[in-house]
Structure 1
Amino acid sequence: MDKLAFITFIIYLLAQPTNLQLLINVKNQGGDVIQENITANVSEDTITLEFLRLDGVHVSQLVDFTNEVEAMRIVIPGEEELGQTGHQTVCFLTHAAQADFIAPDAMAKLRQKNPGTVRVAEEDKGWRQTTATAWAGRAARLLSAAAARHCAAARDRVYLRAADLARWAPRPGMEQSSYSSAVTPFPPHALASDNVDGSPAIGACVAEADTTKECLCHIEVCVNWYPCGLKYCKGKPQGGLSYRCGIKTCHRCYRYHYYVRRRDACLSYT
């Protein structure tokens, strides 16, 4: 390779997006250690975090920063003692303008000094509760190509809430109403607060004995460790300028509620 070709090749390499994959050993709330896989994709402006829980549930969270979409994919294995076979994949789309994660370009610059270290988050962000109101349908592709691919295995079990539809800016060449026309709302009675205490008229799946009856399913997921911000330190007294000197890490749990037409479509009764 001549000198000009070599220089051209180096310039090409430097121009390529820098992606990163981290394998992090994390201690969960029960004291067990699980491994998280975090991938920053600079070219797509996305971050994906995934892990396998000890109960066999696989969790994969994608944040699309450009389109402000967060997609939480959960794969739930059937419980043999309950007569459940196979597994079920569900996915939840939520608005992510104030995403907890640091941006992909900042994430891609992270390096692990001690890969074997067991990590514990510095801050507990508590619970975030989401009550879905519709099946996403074609809206998933309209909102985010990356999220649509991420949720593809869930098929018709991709959920979102109408309140988020109004928060997503319309894409070029389409109107805001296009999102609403692309989703399939839950039946009007599904989340109606007909009870005196304001609770939904339909009961929770955990209390429904008839597997053919409709009910409200819920799933809980905790992400025990993720980079949620950048840390800045002050420079020497004579300089006084601050500089980036690390990351802040957080823990957050999610609780998702959604409607199912039959109780046996809800593999999570917790």
Structure 2
Amino acid sequence: MEIYILNVVVFCVLVPSSNLQLLINVRNQGGDVMQENITANVSEDTITLEFLRPDGVYVSQLVDFTNEVEAMKVIIPGEEELGQTGHQTLCFLTHAAQADFIAPDAMAKLRQKNPGTVRVAEEDKGWRQSTATAWAGRATRRLSASAARHCTAARRVYLRAADLARWPPRPGLEQSSYEADVTPFPEHALGTRAADGMPTINVCLAETDPTKDCMCHLEVCVNWYPCGLKYCKGKPQGGLSYRCGIKTCHRCYRYHFYVRQRDACLSYI
């Protein structure tokens, strides 16, 4: 197998087959150093990136390249001083056409150099906003077995109708079957949109009645991930370019989703 020795990768653990696990020390925008765990599963054609934020929120992002599904799982601990107990696990499915991770087979060729170095991404990709319109229900497994396993512990799995229409029918499954398996949010949460594109239903941050429904929001930033391959020129006599490294990026996500009562929104504060 061709191997790429990359200065930007800090640690690697070989796992069976052509899979690879990378442990990366990353500095976030607040100056805190976190450790990201990135796993490339070549046999399943997936990449998983996970980390624990300084505030105790656990984030795990999976990209299923074959089925074009991206699943963002977030586990939010309750705030004891606010009377919140336990934790909340949420999962968001989006179409992976916009996912800019390098492919699992390319990831599996990476090898570590300069272990222990704290990394900062080369490019800031900005914010990506997503407003869910439905609970995914049984459609999760139909869309991606890998995403279904990834989201097993989630209290709710959310997706957008716009993405549902973009996923191609799976073998032996008509597109309409996806729609039959999801549960749309109530009409008043999906109806008239304000100028910013959000539903006119109250956002949870502004809702004072803990029993009222509202639109919750959740922000997640992935501070470092391989988002492309770099190519270098060969010797003058050959002139051919070759892969000589990876490009790294920073990306933030803002998810909007419906909750039946404000107290179910642990992430709005």
TM-score by length of 2: 0.92
Say yes or no: does 1:213 pair with 2:212.
yes
Say yes or no: does 1:52 pair with 2:52.
yes
Q: Which runs of 5+ in 1 are unaligned?
A: 1-15
Distance 1:93 1:199 in 2: 19
1:235 maps to 234
Residue by residue, what CA displacement relative to the aligned partner does 1:142-166 show, whole Å, maximum 9, x if unpaired? 00000000001014x1000000011
Deviation of 1:201 after TM superposition, in Å, equals 2.1
**Structure 2 CA distance for partners of 1:219 and 1:245, relative to 1, 3 Å:** same
| Larger CA Rg, structure 1 vs 2 | 1
Residue by residue, what CA displacement relative to the aligned partner does 1:165-189 show, whole Å, maximum 9, x if unpaired? 1110001111111111110000111
**Structure 2 CA distance for partners of 1:106 and 1:215, relative to 1, 3 Å:** same
Deviation of 1:128 after TM superposition, in Å, equals 0.2
Q: Which stretch shows the higher mean deviation, 197-206 or 115-124?
A: 197-206
**Structure 2 CA distance for partners of 1:129 and 1:195, relative to 1, 3 Å:** closer
SS at match of 1:137: coil
1:114 maps to 114
Distance 1:238 1:36 in 2: 41
Deviation of 1:202 after TM superposition, in Å, equals 1.0
Distance 1:204 1:26 in 2: 33
Confirm or deny: 8 A CA contact 1:47 1:104 kept in the other structure: yes
Q: Which runs of 5+ in 2 are unaligned?
A: 1-15
1:226 maps to 225
**Structure 2 CA distance for partners of 1:43 and 1:203, relative to 1, 3 Å:** same
**Structure 2 CA distance for partners of 1:47 and 1:197, relative to 1, 3 Å:** closer
Distance 2:43 2:136 in 1: 25
Residue by residue, what CA displacement relative to the aligned partner does 1:101-135 show, whole Å, maximum 9, x if unpaired? 00001001111111200000000000000000000
Distance 2:204 2:92 in 1: 18
1:161 maps to 160
Name which structure has the greater RCO, CA cutoff 8 Å, separation 6+: 2
Distance 2:104 2:173 in 1: 27
SS at match of 1:206: coil
2:130 maps to 130
**Structure 2 CA distance for partners of 1:117 and 1:196, relative to 1, 3 Å:** closer
Residue by residue, what CA displacement relative to the aligned partner does 1:55-109 show, whole Å, maximum 9, x if unpaired? 0000000000000000000000000111100000000000002421000010011
Distance 2:128 2:182 in 1: 23
SS at match of 1:205: coil
**Structure 2 CA distance for partners of 1:253 and 1:194, relative to 1, 3 Å:** closer
Distance 1:194 1:172 in 2: 36
Aligned partner of 1:134: which letter?
Answer: A
1:251 maps to 250
Aligned partner of 1:145: which letter?
Answer: A
Runs in 1 of length 4+ with deviation above 6 angstroms?
none
**Structure 2 CA distance for partners of 1:67 and 1:192, relative to 1, 3 Å:** same
Distance 2:192 2:175 in 1: 28
Distance 1:89 1:97 in 2: 25
1:177 maps to 176
**Structure 2 CA distance for partners of 1:167 and 1:83, relative to 1, 3 Å:** same
Query: Relative to total residues, which structure has the larger helix share, 1 or 2?
Result: 1
SS at match of 1:146: helix
User: Percent identical across equivalent pairs?
Assistant: 84
Across the two proteins, how many residue pairs are aligned to each other?
Answer: 254
**Structure 2 CA distance for partners of 1:197 and 1:133, relative to 1, 3 Å:** closer
**Structure 2 CA distance for partners of 1:70 and 1:83, relative to 1, 3 Å:** same
Deviation of 1:193 after TM superposition, in Å, equals 2.2
Aligned partner of 1:179: which letter?
Answer: Y
2:264 maps to 265
Confirm or deny: 8 A CA contact 1:23 1:115 kept in the other structure: no
